[in-house]
Structure 1
Amino acid sequence: MDEKLTQFRKLIKEQSWSILQEKLLSLDNPSIVFLIEHSREFDSAVLFRFLPREKAKDVFQELSPIKQGEIISDLANNAKKVADLMNDMDPDDRTAFFEELPGQVAQRFMQMLSPENRSIAIQLLGYPEDSIGRLMTPKYVAVKSFFTVEETLQHVRKFGRDAETLDVIYVVDYEWKLIDDILIRDVLISGSDVRIENLIGEKCLSLSAYDDQEKAIRIFKDYNRTALPVIDTGGTLLGIVTIDDIFDVAEEEETEDFHKFGAVEDAKINPLHASVSFLYKKRIVWLMALVFVNIFSGAAISRFEHLIESVVALVFFLPLLIDSAGNAGSQSATLIIRALAVGDVQRRDWVRLLGKEFVVALVLGVSMAAGVSLVASWRSPDIVPVVALTMVLAVVVGSMVGMLLPFVFTRFKLDPATASAPLITSIADISGVLIYFSIAKWYLGL
C-alpha cells in the first residue's frame, strides 16, 4: 500500500489527472479510504474530488472525523457538492459527523440538508450522547403481520433499495409498534400464500433509543445479531442499529480504554495530526501527578540509607523486584478492566476474584522467586532469602492492587480504565521498596 501512496503522490505532482482517475476508480473503497487517510491534506482533497458522487459518499463515511473536516474545508467554496455529500450520507454516519463539529458549523451544514434529512438529523441529535438513538438509522423495511409472503417480497422490492440491511424484516402493527423481526431467509423459503404472522416467534429482541451504546455491544456479542430494532418507551419502532456501527463503537471504546490505561487523558488523539502542544497538554497532568507520587518511593529508600551502605548488593536487585511487582499489577488490571468492559465480571464479583487472584499471584511469585534466586546465588548468595521472599510478597501485593483498583474506580462511578498502568506501577514501586528493605533489615539484623 505504501507503493500506491507513492504512485498517487507522483501522479498528483505531475498533474497526470486522467491516469490518476483511472487508477483511483480501479481500487475498492477500503483502499481508497486508506489512500486518503494517509495522504497529505492537499493530496487527500485532490483524490476525493475525482470520486463520483456515490463512491464519494461511501468513502467519506469511512474517513476519520479529522480527514472528513479537511475534505469539507476543501469543498467550502462548492456549496452544492457539500450539500450533496451531506444529503447522501446515511443518517447514523451523518449524525456521527455532526457530533464532531463545532455547534455553529453543524448548524450551517444542517441547513444544507433536505427537509426530510434535516428532520431525521434533528431527531437523532436529540438523543443523549453515547445513546443508541445516536447510532440508529431509519432506513429499514417493515411489514404488517397480515401480509403474505408474496406481498412482503413485493414490498421489499419497492422499498428495500435504500434500506441499511435486508437480512431482517421488521413486523409492526397499525400504530407502528414493533411485533417481531424475521429473517429474510425465513420469508424466502416459505410459500407465497403464508402470512407473516405465521412466521413470528415468541420473543423479539430490541433496544431502547435511550440505552447506552455499551449495552448494544454486549447484546450483539451475546446474541450474534447483524441488526437490532430500536424502540421508544411505548414500543414504537424508531429505527435499527447494524453490526457495522457497533463495530465502530466497540473500537472507539477499546481505544479509549487503552489510552486511559496508559494515562493519556484524551482517547481521541491522532498523533499524526495533533500538534506538539496538544500532545504535551494531554500527557503532562498524569505524569506530573505521578512524579509527586513517586516522591514517596524516594522517601522510603532514604529511610534505609544505613542498610544500603552496609549491603550495597541490595541495590542491584531493587529495580528487578519493583518492576516485577508493577508488571504483575498491570497484567492483573488489564484482565479485570477487559472483563468489566465486556460484562464478564460484575462489581459484586470482587470478593470471589480476590481469593483466586491471590492464589495465582502466589504461584507466580514463587515461580519468579526461583528465577531471581538463581541470579542472586551467583551474585550475592547471602541475600538470596531476602530477594526470594521479597519477590513473592511484591508480586502478590502488585497483583492485588492491579485487581482491586478497577473495582474501586467502578464503585465510585469512574471509568475502571482510569486505573492506569502508571498509577499501578507507582503504587507497586512504593510498596515494593518498603517490603524489600524491611525484610532485608529484619533478616540481616541491621
Structure 2
Amino acid sequence: MEDIVREDEATLRSRALDLEGEHVADLVEHLNEHEPEEAPAILAGLSEDRLIEVLDQPEFEASVELISSLPIGRAVRVLAGMSADRATDLLAEIEEPRRSQLIAKLDPETRNAVARLAAYPEGSAGSIMTTEVVSVPANWTVGQTLQHIRVVEKSRETIYTICVLDPVTQALVQTVTLRRLIAAEPNAPVLSAARHRRPITVTPRTDREEVARLFSKYDQIAVPVVDERFHVVGIVTVDDIIDTIFEESTEDVQKFGGMEALDEPYMDISFLMMMRKRAGWLCALFIGEMLTATAMQHFETELEKAIVLTLFIPLIMSSGGNSGSQATSLIIRALALGEVKLRDWWRVALRELPSGLTLGAILGTLGIIRITVWQMLGLYDYGEHWILVAATVGTGLLGIVTFGSMTGSMLPFILQRLGFDPASASAPFVATLVDVTGLVIYFSVALVILSGTLL
C-alpha cells in the first residue's frame, strides 16, 4: 500500500516537472483539474519562485492547502515573495493557529503591509491595491530612474507606472509611464517625461467599481492610491481591476437570477449555504406571487362570466414581466457603466414612456391579429363578442407593457436612492411585481370594454 502511495506521489511530481515550462496560467488550469489535496504533492518539487508565481494567481483553487502543507520556513518565504495584496487575501483564508504562526514569522515590512491591507473594507481600493510601488524623487533624472527600476524590478508588482514624489514632503507630484521614460533623454529630469496634467488617483476607501470606471475612462494600466496628504500608500493595477470586474459581473448575474450572490465557487459552496442564498429570495418571490391569486380572487365574478379572458392571462403576465425585465437590465447596466446618474431618472422615464407605449402597441396588435386569425379560420370560437375580446387583449397589453417598462426602469433608481445595490432589482422580482399589477390592469380594461356584453 505504501509503495502505491509513493508511486502516486512520484507520478504527480512527474506531471509537475512536465508543466515546469508551461505558462503559469496553463499550470494553474492543470492544477485545478486535480483535487485540492493533490496540489502539494504535484508542486513539491518546484522552486520557490515558481510556487510564488502559482500562488499569485487568484484562480488557483488549492492555495490554502498548499501553504498549509509547506514547512513554516518555506511558507513564510513564499508569502514574502508574493504580491502584498494576494498574500493578504491568502492569509485571510488560512485557519488559526497556522495564520498567526505565519504572520509572526514574516519580515516586518511584509507583516506591516499585510496588516495595512487587511484593515481596509472589502470592496474598496485599499483592499485590492498592492503596496509594492516604484517611486522616485522628483529631482532625479530619467537615467537614474531607469537604473532604479532595473534594481527593484523583481520586487515590484508593476513597473509600468512610476510615482514621482516631492523630495521633501514625499507627496505625489506626477506619474510617469515606462514607455515615456524609455523614449526620454537619459540626462533629462524625470518630470520631463511626465504628461503635464494632474495624476489620476484614488483614496484607499474609494469603491472598487468607481476605480474600475476610472480605469476605463482614462485608459489606465495602474492608478496610485493616496492618503489625505497625497502620500502614495499603494497602487491598483489593471489585473486587479480585471479580477474586480469579473467578480462584480458574476455577483450581478446571480442577483439578476433572483438570489443572493455566492461568496464561493458553485462547486465549493456547502448545501446549507446554497439553500440560504436561494431560499430567502425564492420565498419572497413566492409570497409576492400570492398577490396574483388575491388579484384573481377579486375578479372572480368577472372570470365566471367571461371564461375566455382566462385564456390570455399567461400571455398578459409574461409580456408585462418581459418588458419590465428588459428595462431593468438596461438601466442597471447603464448605472454600472456610469452612462446614467441618479439625477437622470426623469430623462429615463421620458425615454421609457414612449418606448413602452410603442412596444405595447406592437404586442397588442399581434394579440389582436392572433385572435382574429383563429376566429376567422375556425381554430377557436371566442364567441359573438370576439372583437371586444380582441380589443380587451390588445388594450390590456398596451397598458401592461407600458407599465412594465416604466416600473422596470424606475426600480433601479429607487433602490440606489435607498442605498441598495440596483442589481437587486432582479428579473424575477420585477416580473413578480408586474404580474400582480398586470392582472389588475387587464381586468380593469375588461370591465370597461366588456361591460354590458360579457360582463
Which TM-score applies when normalising by structure 1? 0.90
Partners of 2:97 and 2:321 in 1: CA distance? 47
Seen in structure 2, the aligned counterparts of structure 1 residues 304 and 197 have a Cα distance that, compared at 3 Å, is: closer
Kindly provide the CA deviation profile for residues 139-194 of structure 1, in whole angstroms up to 9, marking residues without a partner as x.
Answer: 22222222222222222222223222222222111232111011222222222221
Residue 184 of structure 1 aligns with an amino acid whose one-letter code is: L
Q: In structure 2, do the counterparts of structure 1 residues 209 and 441 end up closer, same or farther at CA, with 3 Å as the change threshold?
A: same
1:236 pairs, out of 213, 226, 231, with: 231
Of 47, 63, 82, the residue aligned with 2:75 is: 82
Corresponding residue to 1:189 among 178, 183, 203:
183
Deviations 1:308-360 (A, max 9, x none): 23333322221121111111111111111112122221111101110101111
Q: Distance in 1 between matches of 2:95 and 2:411?
A: 36
Identity %: 30
Kindly indicate whether the alpha-carbon contact (under 8 Å) linking 1:376 and 1:387 is maintained by their aligned counterparts in 2.
no
Q: Give the match's secondary structure for 1:161.
A: helix
Matches within 5 A, 1:58-137: 58-64=53-59, 67-73=62-68, 75=69, 78-100=71-93, 106-137=99-130
Residues 329-368 of structure 1: matches in 2 within 5 Å?
329-368=324-363
Greater alpha carbon shift after TM alignment, 79-88 vs 169-178: 79-88
Paired position in structure 2 for 1:411? 417
Aligned equivalent of 1:165: 158
Q: CA RMSD in A?
A: 2.4
1:21 paired residue number: 16
Alignment-derived partner of residue 3 in structure 1: none
Q: CA deviation at 1:124?
A: 1.6
After TM superposition, the structure 1 stretch with the greater mean CA deviation from structure 2, 113-122 or 48-57, is 48-57
Match of 1:437 among 440, 443, 446: 443
Structure 1 range deviating more: 178-187 or 51-60:
51-60
Structure 1 segment 23-422 matched on structure 2, within 5 A: 23-64=18-59, 67-73=62-68, 75=69, 78-100=71-93, 106-174=99-167, 175-200=169-194, 201-377=196-372, 378=374, 379=380, 380=382, 381-382=386-387, 383-422=389-428
Aligned to 2:431: 425
1:359-402: CA deviations, max 9, x gaps?
Answer: 11111111122222222221444421111111111111111111
Change (3 A) 1:51 1:357: farther
2:62 counterpart SS class: helix
Matched position secondary structure for 1:234: coil
Counterpart of 2:191, as a letter, is E
| Aligned-partner Cα distance in 2 for 1:162–1:14 | 33
* 348 and 106 in structure 1: CA distance in 2 versus 1, 3 angstrom threshold: farther
Q: Unpaired segments of 5 or more residues in structure 2?
A: 1-6, 375-379
Question: What secondary structure does 2:223 align onto?
Answer: strand
Contact 1:36-1:48 at 8 Å conserved across structures? no
The amino acid of 1:401's aligned partner reads T
Q: Does structure 2 retain, via aligned residues, the 8 Å contact 1:230–1:241?
A: yes
> Aligned partners of 2:108, 2:9: CA distance in 1, in Å?
43
SS class of match (2:56): helix
Q: Mean Cα displacement is larger for which, 425-434 or 103-112?
A: 103-112
Q: Any idea what SS the aligned residue of 1:16 has?
A: helix
Compute the displacement of 1:48 (Å). Answer: 3.8
Q: 2:396, 2:442 within 8 Å by CA — same for their partners in 1?
A: yes
My pick for the range that moved more, 14-23 or 28-37, is: 14-23
TM-score of the two chains, using structure 2 as the length reference: 0.88
**1-structure distance, mates of 2:16, 2:257:** 43
* CA 42–107 in structure 1, closer or farther in 2 if over 3 Å, else same: closer
The amino acid that maps onto 2:322 is N
Give 1:18 shift.
5.9
What is the CA-CA distance between 1:301 and the residue it aligns to?
0.9
SS state of the match for residue 192, structure 1?
A: coil
Q: Which moved more, 1:334-343 or 1:306-315?
A: 306-315
Distance in structure 2 (CA, Å) of the matches to 1:384 and 1:101:
65
Larger deviation, residues 47-56 vs 340-349: 47-56
Q: What is the rounded CA distance, in whole Å, between the counterparts of 2:93 and 2:85 in structure 1?
A: 13
Classify 1:353/1:105 alpha carbon distance in 2 versus 1 (closer, same or farther; 3 Å): farther
Task: Give the match for residue 9 of structure 1.
Answer: none
Q: Is the 8 A contact 1:37 1:63 kept in 2?
A: no
In the TM superposition, residue 14 of structure 1 has moved relative to its aligned partner by 9.3
Number of residue pairs aligned between Structure 1 and Structure 2: 434
